[in-house]
């Protein structure tokens, strides 16, 4: 018999009430934990995806859409841009690196992206199997794509027109998988990469109808020649600045002197997060309200049980218990409930996120998982403990002040 066992016995003597309080605590904590984990992982993913890309240039439209489409591969393209304009921009002194993207087709929701090999290199993607593409219609697939489709080098598939799963098939032109990338935790995990001319070929744009001379080699797309009156198009250009001057100059040049628009990934994701942030704040607020209600419930439960236990407490004093010992035992009761609730909440929080990560297509693609721990959870644990102790404080002080002689004489 010790002080911990006494507290525990009193807690287990009212199981339903304890269950309710533990559950309330757990509910509040689980919402806080899952939101924290979600925001943390989302921020990580966003940051990883935009690192190395200073500017995205594409057709005019919503800048946020441009970023969502061309960096995160979530939204639809704003339109196409002329290859000739893109080439001209890539040649300016502000640009260190420019990577073309040609979107349009997909397979079972996985986008087929025409690009060059600098794109996987941007994310440090390496090959797990096979080789990089060299010819039209050869593709290298991301780790998630390979896993979910069960593909290995040598497999073939048909592209579907459009970026959702409903598009018609390009039946006569199958793609062939030649390589599979290692997981990177970024966008290429869910992409099917191929050459830009491959994407053109599927859409019948590969054929050169003009035959003007004065051709010159493309900067962006290895192996092709640009015509004088070039008419081919791509979706966007990912740009890395060469110097600080570019930060100011390049977006202005693009937005004012060309039919294209430029959007900064850092700026747009910050904007996205501030939009998302207000939603997260509301959910957070709700969680804190629940935790507060839980604390209140623990307080009321203890306060009421102290009334029923006046005699018990007086008898314990008569048996030699000091005031401080009884005080501690009541505070301990509050803390035990909050520890149980906090533990339940942390487990539930991770569970919720893991279930979301497994069940929701988009969450699965972005690699959201519940099996991920962050240091802030320690603060939550400490906070829960403190709240449990605080909610027991008033009942415990009450117990300390009980006049035992009066109670026992009743």
Q: Which stretch binds another protein (CB under 8 A): 1-9, 49-57, 61-69, 223-231?
A: 1-9
Minimum separation from the CB atom of position 393 to another protein (A): 21
Tokens of 41: 């992982």
User: Which residue, 127 or 404, is less far from another protein as judged by CB?
Assistant: 404
Min. distance of Cβ 184 from another protein in angstroms? 57
Q: Contact between 304 and another protein (CB under 8 A)?
A: no
Stretch that binds another protein, among 18-26, 317-325, 345-353, 368-376 (CB under 8 A): 317-325
- Work out whether 231 is an interface residue with another protein (CB under 8 A): no
10 interacts with another protein by CB under 8 A: yes
Q: Round to whole Å and give the CA distance between 98 and 272.
A: 24
The piece of 64-72, 115-123, 226-234, 308-316 that touches another protein (CB under 8 A) is 308-316
Using the rule CB under 8 A, is 408 a contact of another protein?
Answer: yes
**What separation in angstroms does the CA of 291 have from each of 18, 209, 383, 386, 400?**
15, 69, 10, 12, 27
A 10 A CB-CB count for 241 gives 16
126 binds another protein (CB under 8 A): no
Minimal CA–CA distance to 125: which of 69, 30, 189?
189
Q: Is 130 strand, coil or helix? A: strand
Q: Tell me the closest approach of the beta carbon of residue 305 to another protein, in angstroms.
A: 10
* Alpha-carbon span 138 to 304, nearest angstrom: 73
In the chain, helix, strand, coil percent, each to 5?
55, 20, 25
Kindly identify the residues of this chain, within the stretch 166-185, that bind another protein according to CB under 8 A. Answer: none
Closer to another protein by Cβ: residue 1 or 214: 1
CA atoms within 13 A on the CB side of 57: 32
Q: Which of these segments, 7-15, 41-49, 103-111, 232-240, binds another protein (CB under 8 A)?
A: 7-15
Q: Residues in the chain, how many?
A: 410
**319 touches another protein by CB under 8 A:** yes
Q: Any contact of residue 339 with another protein (CB under 8 A)?
A: no
- Paired sense of beta strands 110-115 and 191-195, if any: parallel
Q: Does 19 bind another protein (CB under 8 A)?
A: no
- Beta strand pairing call for 191-195 and 216-217: unpaired
| Footprint of another protein (CB under 8 A) | 1-2, 6, 9-10, 12-13, 311-312, 315-323, 325, 404-405, 408-409
């Amino acid at each position: 018999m010790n002080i911990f066992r006494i507290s525990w016995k009193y807690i287990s003597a009212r199981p339903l009430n304890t269950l309710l309080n533990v559950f309330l605590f757990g509910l509040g904590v689980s919402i806080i934990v899952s939101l924290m984990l979600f925001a943390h992982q989302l921020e990580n993913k966003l940051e990883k995806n935009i690192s190395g890309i200073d500017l995205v240039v594409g057709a005019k439209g919503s800048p946020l859409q441009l970023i969502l489409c061309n960096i995160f591969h979530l939204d639809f393209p704003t339109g196409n841009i002329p290859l000739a304009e893109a080439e001209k921009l890539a040649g300016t002194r502000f640009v260190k690196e420019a990577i073309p993207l040609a979107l349009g087709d997909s397979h079972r929701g996985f986008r087929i992206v025409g690009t060059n090999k600098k794109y996987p290199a941007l994310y440090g993607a390496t090959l797990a199997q096979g080789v990089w593409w060299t010819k039209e219609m050869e593709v290298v697939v991301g780790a998630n794509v390979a896993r979910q489709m069960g593909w290995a080098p040598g497999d073939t598939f048909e592209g579907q027109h459009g970026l959702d799963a409903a598009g018609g098939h390009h039946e006569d032109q199958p793609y062939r998988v030649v390589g599979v990338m290692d997981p990177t935790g970024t966008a290429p995990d869910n992409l099917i990469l191929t050459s830009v001319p491959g994407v053109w070929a599927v859409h019948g744009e590969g054929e050169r109808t003009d035959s003007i001379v004065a051709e010159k080699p493309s900067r962006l797309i290895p192996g092709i020649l640009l015509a004088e009156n070039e008419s081919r198009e791509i979706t966007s250009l990912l740009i890395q600045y060469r110097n600080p001057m570019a930060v100011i100059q390049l977006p202005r040049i693009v937005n004012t002197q060309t039919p294209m628009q430029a959007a900064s990934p850092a700026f747009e994701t910050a904007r996205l997060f501030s939009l998302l942030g207000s939603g997260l704040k509301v959910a957070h607020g709700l969680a804190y309200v629940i935790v507060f209600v839980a604390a209140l419930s623990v307080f009321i439960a203890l306060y009421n049980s102290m009334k029923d236990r006046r005699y018990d407490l007086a008898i314990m004093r008569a048996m030699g218990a000091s005031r401080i010992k009884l005080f501690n035992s009541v505070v301990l009761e509050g803390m035990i409930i909050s520890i149980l609730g906090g533990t339940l909440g942390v487990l539930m929080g991770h569970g919720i996120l893991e279930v979301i990560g497994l069940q929701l297509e988009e969450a699965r693609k972005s690699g959201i998982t519940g099996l991920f721990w962050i240091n802030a959870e320690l603060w939550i644990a400490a906070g829960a403990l403190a709240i449990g102790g605080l909610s027991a404080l008033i009942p415990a002080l009450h117990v300390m002040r009980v006049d035992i002689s009066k109670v026992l004489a009743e």
